[in-house]
Amino acid sequence: MSIWIIMIIIMVLSFIVQQMLQSRFNKYSKVGLPNGMSGAEVAMKMLHDHGIYDVKVVPTRGMLTDHFNPQTKTVALSEGVYASRSVAAAVAAHECGHAVQHALGYAPLKMRSALVPVVNFASNIVQWVLLAGVLLINVFPGLLWIGIILFATTTLFSFVTLPVEINASSRAIGWLTQTGITDSQTRPMAIDALKWAAYTYVIAALGSLATLLYYIGLARRD
């Protein structure tokens, strides 16, 4: 199968997953949690239940912009999660799952954190190096390979991210179930929302791999 066909398929899948994720988020944002806790309250309770008291829960602008920052020790929750008292609060538990990983020294998270400076550097220049490598492939073929190596670090980062995200979701679901924050009606919704969120990382990793293989094929044809 042509690499172009694979990339088009991945682009279509990425669009579908994004639409499904937003659809699920909008739907479950209208279903309240049994105990009426907000996303911020859910996050604080999960942190404290795991003995974590040095991580702050703060609001951040945007939709689905939730994240955990180990440098500042903050769990940032988007506007639709921070104050929400709905199943959308499962996202807050997911982000706290990353805080738990950090506290426990979870190996894949440590590896991803170690890659961040390298990936940030590579991301800033990789497009220009690849472009120059393609344009100068007959004059300086080694430049394209330099771009490929830089891009490979971002692909590696995407795949290292997968177990980190899946594990965070597993921790979130396990805790939400044990504490009774979700019940038999809302638990499947929380699992479904986190499942679609995980799919976005899978598609991103596959897309990065397909792009990497494309440039490798281009360099080897020279």
Listed residue (156, 141, 24) closest to 90, CA to CA: 24
Going by DSSP bridges, is the β-strand pair 56-60/74-78 parallel, antiparallel, or unpaired? parallel
Residues belonging to the active site: 95
| Amino acid found at 173 | I
Question: Could you give the count of Cα atoms lying within 13 Å of 134 in the half-sphere of its Cβ?
Answer: 10
| Closest to 211 measured CA to CA, from 155, 134, 173, 133 | 155
Q: How far is CA 126 from CA 44, 85, 132, 143, 148, in A?
A: 39, 42, 10, 11, 8
What burial class does residue 159 get, using C-beta atoms within 10 Å of its C-beta: 0-12 exposed, 13-18 middle, 19+ buried? Answer: middle
Mapped onto helix, strand or coil, the DSSP state of residue 109 is helix
